[in-house]
Amino acid sequence: MATGRTHRPATRSRGIPEATVARLPLYLRALTGLSERSVPTVSSEELAAAAGVNSAKLRKDFSYLGSYGTRGVGYDVEYLVYQISRELGLTQDWPVVIVGIGNLGAALANYGGFASRGFRVAALIDADPAMAGKPVAGIPVQHSDELEKIIADNGVSIGVIATPAGAAQPVCDRLVAAGVTSILNFAPTVLTVPDGVDVRKVDLSIELQILAFHEQRKAGEHAAAAADERKGPDGELPAVMPA
- Positions touching ligand NAD (CB under 6 A) are 99-105, 125-128, 144, 162-165, 167, 171, 186-188, 202-204
Flag whether 102 is marked binding.
yes
Flag whether 105 is marked binding.
yes
Taking the complex as a whole, the smallest distance from the CB of residue 32 to ligand NAD amounts, in Å, to: 24
146 versus 215: smaller Cβ distance to ligand NAD: 146
27 versus 186: smaller Cβ distance to ligand NAD: 186
Flag whether 89 is marked binding.
no
CB-based contacts of 116, cutoff 8 Å, min separation 6: none
Long-range contacts of 114-121 (CB under 8 A, 24+ apart): 117/90, 118/85, 118/90, 118/91, 118/92, 118/93, 118/94, 119/94, 119/158, 120/93, 120/94, 120/95, 120/96, 121/96, 121/97
Flag whether 72 is marked binding.
no
User: 107 phi and psi, to 5 degrees?
Assistant: -65, -40
Q: Enumerate the β-bridge partners of residue 47.
A: none
Taking the complex as a whole, the smallest distance from the CB of residue 160 to ligand NAD amounts, in Å, to: 10
128 versus 221: smaller Cβ distance to ligand NAD: 128
DSSP 8-state secondary structure symbol assigned to residue 201? E
47 versus 160: smaller Cβ distance to ligand NAD: 160
Task: Give binding residues for NAD(+) as ranges.
Answer: 100-105
